[in-house]
Amino acid sequence: MYLFMFTGTTLWTFHGINLDDKAIIYSNIITSALNAIILTMKIQDTLKARQAKS
């Protein structure tokens, strides 16, 4: 789910770059960065849970 959100906001960032719209660019950069943090934490948690089961 977070991967889809991250991909979408990244694509919207590129769309904002094509339109040269700073509001779209900056808002999606911030959102993508926050999504990347959440996604990283989720992946780390999933990997730790798998290792604990082993």
Q: What tens digit of pLDDT does each residue of 3-54 get?
A: 999 999 999 999 999 999 999 999 999 999 999 999 999 999 999 999 998 7
Count of residues for the chain?
Answer: 54
- Domain span at residue 13 reads 2-53
Whether residue 2 has pLDDT greater than 90: no
Compute the radius of gyration of the chain from its Cα atoms.
15
Phi-psi sector, 20: left (phi>0), alpha (psi -120 to 50), beta = left
User: How many domains does the chain contain in total?
Assistant: 1
**pTM for the whole thing?**
0.83
